[in-house]
Each structure stands twice: as C-alpha cells, then as structure tokens.
C-alpha cells in the first residue's frame, strides 16, 4: 500500500502533493512502482496533529477525485479518513476501501456507509485522538489489549452491516504507543491473526526509529524496510509504505527466499 498525503503537515511528505497535478503524478508513480493499492489522505494523523474539517479534506482532494472520476485510477485507491462525507466522495470517485484510524468511532455514519457500499474497511487501533494519543500511553499487555479492542470493533462493524470478509485490521503502530509497545506489537502479530482478518501494518519512516536508532525522518528507510519484513514474516498481509519501489523489492527478495526455504 503506497501513501499519498494531500496535506501540508504530514510528518514526511506534507506539502509535496497539494496540487491536483502533483497528486495525480504521485498516484501514477505509486502504481508504476508496483503497489497494489494507494492510500490517499487529506488529514495528517501524526501525533499532535490538529483535526481537519471534512469540508477542507474534500477541498484538498477535489482535483484528484475529479481526475479519478474522469479517467479512472491506475491503482486501487483507499481513502484515509475518519469522516463519512469524505469517504463517500472518494467512493463516488472510484475508491474501493476506507482506512479509518478511529475504527469507526469518530463518525457514526462511517460503518453504515461502508456496509451500504460493500467496500473494504481497515479498522485501526488507537487510544485517543491525534492531539492526545502520545500522552503517557499505558498498557498491561499491549498485544492482548490491542487484539481484544480490535476484536470488539470487528463485532461492532459486522453488527452494523459490514461484511466480515471486507475487514482489515491495523494494530496502529505509533498511535498511542511507546517504542516498547510498538516492538511488542510487531513481534506479536500472530495473536492478531487469530482474529481471522487480514492485517495491515504501517511502520514507514515513523518516529519509533528515532527512538530506536536516533535517525531523522530522511534516514529511516533501511529501518522501515527491516520492520516491514519482520511484520510480514509474522503474518502481516499489507504493508503501508511511503517508499514503494524499495519496499516492493525488499518483499520480492524475502518472498523468493521463502519459496525455496
């Protein structure tokens, strides 16, 4: 899953793709580099970020969604939003998935919308909204608590009409977690697999690598690739990445070894 942030303030690529031409070129590049899906967002979800009203998200996305409606998309598109109005606009333009970092909590209309459209949804674990999520997060057993919380969100989604086979789960690496929590979640992905749904993991260039290795955001690609391979080896089905081509190559090499092992 390649990342396309149509935002001025995302932690890595904020401001790069604000125009419709730049966003469309990025979408085409993500497709050309081998991603299976492109995750498009118009609101930064980094820790400390301010919420963006749905109307502003739709304004930022307007040119890209118009291009998708006019000519289709070269890759399947996921819309990264917690707001049903934004999701609906993207689905109308051809998106096939909603990536909801609130797991359907922020907007009560989100799960019914996904159910009505029959599209996929990724439900992510987080403890609080972006502005507060990193204020001393605590867990007794982070893996079991995240597993149980996501299991409850699956039950809620299904109760509201979402098909179970359209649900993907994300443990929310970096969302209300310390470095130790993040590492334990990556090591314990097998427990999340027990829920019976595909698992998505996003570790790309995250601040955990500053804490682990002292690397600035521009120096985190090797660590991102290492963590992505560790996640896949433990059961992750989808890897969300800013650097599509290197991630595709790393996964291809890992898979080749696994096939002959």
What average pLDDT does this structure show over 88-93?
98
Contact 78, 119 (CB under 8 A): no
Q: What is the pLDDT of residues 126-179, one digit of tens each?
A: 975 655 555 667 799 999 999 999 999 999 999 999 999 999 999 999 999 999
What is the rounded distance in angstroms from the CA atom of residue 137 to the CA atom of residue 125? Answer: 13
For residue 22, pLDDT over 60 is answered with yes
Beta strands in 135-247 (DSSP E): 167-170, 200-202, 238-240
Q: What's the mean per-residue pLDDT of the chain?
A: 93
Between CA 257 and CA 114 the distance in angstroms is 38
Sign of CA dihedral 30, 73, 42, 14: positive
Is the predicted pLDDT of residue 26 greater than 80, yes or no? Answer: yes
pLDDT of res. 134: 58
> Does residue 90 surpass a pLDDT of 80?
yes
For 54-82, write each residue's pLDDT tens digit.
999 999 999 999 999 998 999 999 999 99
> What pLDDT is recorded for position 17?
87
Q: Which of 9-13, 39-43, 182-186 has the lowest mean pLDDT?
A: 9-13
Give the active site residue among 26, 83, 205, 240. 240
Q: Is the dihedral of CA 210, 99, 110, 67 positive or negative?
A: positive
Q: Calculate what percentage of the chain has a pLDDT beyond 90.
A: 85
Dist. CA 57–CA 76, nearest whole Å: 20
171 within 8 A of 192, measured Cβ to Cβ: yes
3-class DSSP state of 126:
coil
Average pLDDT over residues 224-240: 98
Catalytic residue among 60, 117, 206, 220: 206
Question: Where do the structural domains in the chain lie, given as residue ranges?
Answer: 2-260
More confident residue, 9 or 130: 9
**Three-state SS for 49?**
coil
Strand residue runs (E) in the chain: 2-5, 37-41, 76-80, 97-100, 120-124, 167-170, 200-202, 238-240
Please tell me which residue, 134 or 17, carries the higher pLDDT value: 17
Residue 167's pLDDT is 98
Q: What is the predicted pLDDT for the residue at 209?
A: 97
Domain over 2-260 is classified CATH 3.40.50.720: no
User: Is 240 among the residues known to form the active site?
Assistant: yes
**pTM reported for the whole predicted model:** 0.93
Residue 131 annotated among the catalytic residues of the structure = no
């Amino acid at each position: 899953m390649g990342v396309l942030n149509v935002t001025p303030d995302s932690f890595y690529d904020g401001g790069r793709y604000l125009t419709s031409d730049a966003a469309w070129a990025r979408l085409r590049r993500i497709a050309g580099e081998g991603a299976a899906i492109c995750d498009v967002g118009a609101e930064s979800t980094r820790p400390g970020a301010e919420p963006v009203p749905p109307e502003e998200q739709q304004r930022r996305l307007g040119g890209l969604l118009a291009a998708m409606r006019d000519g289709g998309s070269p890759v399947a598109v996921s819309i990264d939003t917690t707001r049903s109005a934004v999701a609906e606009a993207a689905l109308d333009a051809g998106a096939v998935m909603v990536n909801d970092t609130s797991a359907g909590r922020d907007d009560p209309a989100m799960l019914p919308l996904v159910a009505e459209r029959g599209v996929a949804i990724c439900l992510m674990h987080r403890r609080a909204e972006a502005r507060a999520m990193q204020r001393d997060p605590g867990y007794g057993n982070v893996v079991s608590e995240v597993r149980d919380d996501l299991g409850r969100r699956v039950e809620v989604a299904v109760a509201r009409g979402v098909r179970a086979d359209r649900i993907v789960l994300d443990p929310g690496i970096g969302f209300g977690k310390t470095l130790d929590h993040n590492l334990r979640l990556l090591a314990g992905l097998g427990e999340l697999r027990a829920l019976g749904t595909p698992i998505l993991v996003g570790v790309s260039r995250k601040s955990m690598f500053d804490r682990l290795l002292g690397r600035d955001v521009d120096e985190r690609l090797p660590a991102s690739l290492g963590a992505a391979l560790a996640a896949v080896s433990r059961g992750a089905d989808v890897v969300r990445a800013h650097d599509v081509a290197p991630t595709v190559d790393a996964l291809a090499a890992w898979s080749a070894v696994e096939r002959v092992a």
